[in-house]
Amino acid sequence: MAASSGDNIPTQLAALLGRESVGQIRKTDETPPRISVIDVVQAITGKDARHAAQEVRTLCSRHPEVDKILVHFLFRGQGQRKTYVTSVRGIVEVIMPLPGHHAAKARPAWDF
């Protein structure tokens, strides 16, 4: 498959940000899969999960259009909490208003 197919989101995101790795990015088992918003925000901003979740809450309060594209999902596994997920296209809408220089690196690379 092509490198832009989305099969290896963490590797592609790391390359986009100029890093060796970005950590885990969870995705649902659905077809097409949805992606954990917290994981992506954490990878882009470099914040821990708690602060990335706060960043998403702030983003949703400032940008109601972003809040409308996010849904809660409970990933499998012990200790998991409901987390926001969205489509790849939705992730683009989340990244665009994110503050910081790491988010700025990601913005111009999206080609839809």
Q: What is the pLDDT of residue 112?
A: 45
pLDDT computed for residue 2 by the predictor: 38
- Say what the pLDDT of residue 86 is: 95
Instruction: Give residue 107's pLDDT band: very low, low, confident or very high (50, 70, 90).
Output: low
What mean pLDDT is predicted for residues 32-46? 90
Using a 10 angstrom Cβ sphere, with 0-12 exposed, 13-18 middle and 19 or more buried, the burial of residue 96 is middle
* Token couple for 76: 């499998």
pTM equals 0.77
Condensed to tens digits (0 to 9), the pLDDT of residues 47-103 reads 899 999 999 999 999 989 999 999 999 998 888 889 999 998 898 888 888 877 666
In this prediction, residue 109 carries a pLDDT of 52
Other beta carbons within 10 angstroms of residue 84's beta carbon come to 25
**pLDDT band at residue 5, thresholds of 50, 70 and 90?**
very low
What pLDDT band is residue 46 in, cutting at 50, 70 and 90? confident
Model confidence at 7: pLDDT above 50: yes
